[in-house]
């Protein structure tokens, strides 16, 4: 049950257990006060039979890592996984890996999964996962190589950032656009509503071509 009197947001009770610039920017866009305190846990240790289970496990590891030292705060952990069929695409380590990932994605549908975990004082952790399907355009090798030359793919799961120059490589999105960016905002506000009054926060519309 949610608390009868939701705590105030005046003192920014939310901690983001991530240094992701995308997640930081998205939280700022909805006007939610928060503090950044990145977790250094190795998300590769997360276990799960399905991608959503693995993403949630990694998110929970991050949130609980920070919550141990900040037990008075609400801590948000998140983890995003890109799946092409049964294959999980991580972050490319070099241009060759980025070329291979984008070649595999070209002209095909894939799934982006983000796991969320909120750890709040005196409450059991809240976890959930969002799934979004993305279809890449049938872009040329030159378009792919021009994109890789921007340097943008190298810290992105799947080797692309839909909110950046890779928008031109994406044909369509089926589901939550912000999930593909790295943080499903509607799902996050649903979870936060169990602990805080979030009625004043709204999710901005995605770019028109991805509505």
Distance CA 167, CA 94 (A): 21
Secondary structure class of 75 (helix, strand, coil) = strand
Nearest alpha carbon to residue 89 among 71, 103, 76, 74:
103
Phi/psi class of residue 131: alpha, beta or left (left: φ > 0; alpha: ψ in -120 to 50)?
beta
CB 91 within 8 A of CB 155: yes
**Sign of the dihedral defined by the CA atoms of residues 81, 206, 151, 97, in that order:** positive
Nearest alpha carbon to residue 54 among 75, 82, 26:
82
Secondary structure class of 70 (helix, strand, coil) = coil
Nearest alpha carbon to residue 112 among 25, 184, 60:
184
Residue 94 annotated as catalytic:
no
Q: Which of 72, 79, 143, 174 is catalytic?
A: 79
H or E element in which residue 35 lies? strand 34-36
Query: In the chain, how many H helices and how many E strands?
Result: 6, 7
- Report the Cα–Cα distance between both ends of the chain, in Å, rounded: 33
Catalytic residues: 79
């Amino acid at each position: 049950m949610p608390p009868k009197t939701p705590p105030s947001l005046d003192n920014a009770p939310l901690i983001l257990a991530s240094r992701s610039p995308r997640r930081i920017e998205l939280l700022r866009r909805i006007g939610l006060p928060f503090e950044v305190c990145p977790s250094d846990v190795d998300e590769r240790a997360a276990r799960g039979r399905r991608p959503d289970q693995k993403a949630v496990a990694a998110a929970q590891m991050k949130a609980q890592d920070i919550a141990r030292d900040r037990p008075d705060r609400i801590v948000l952990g998140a983890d995003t996984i890109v799946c092409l069929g049964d294959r999980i695409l991580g972050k490319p380590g070099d241009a060759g890996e980025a070329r291979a990932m984008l070649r595999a994605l070209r002209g095909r549908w894939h799934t982006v999964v983000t796991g969320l975990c909120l750890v709040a004082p005196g409450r059991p952790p809240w976890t959930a996962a969002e799934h979004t399907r993305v279809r890449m355009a049938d872009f040329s090798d030159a378009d792919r190589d021009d994109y890789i030359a921007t340097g943008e793919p190298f810290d992105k799961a799947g080797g692309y950032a839909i909110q950046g120059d890779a928008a031109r490589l994406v044909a369509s999105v089926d589901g939550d656009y912000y999930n593909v960016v790295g943080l499903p905002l509607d799902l996050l506000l649903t979870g936060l509503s169990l602990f805080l009054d979030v009625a004043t926060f709204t999710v901005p519309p995605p770019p028109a071509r991805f509505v």
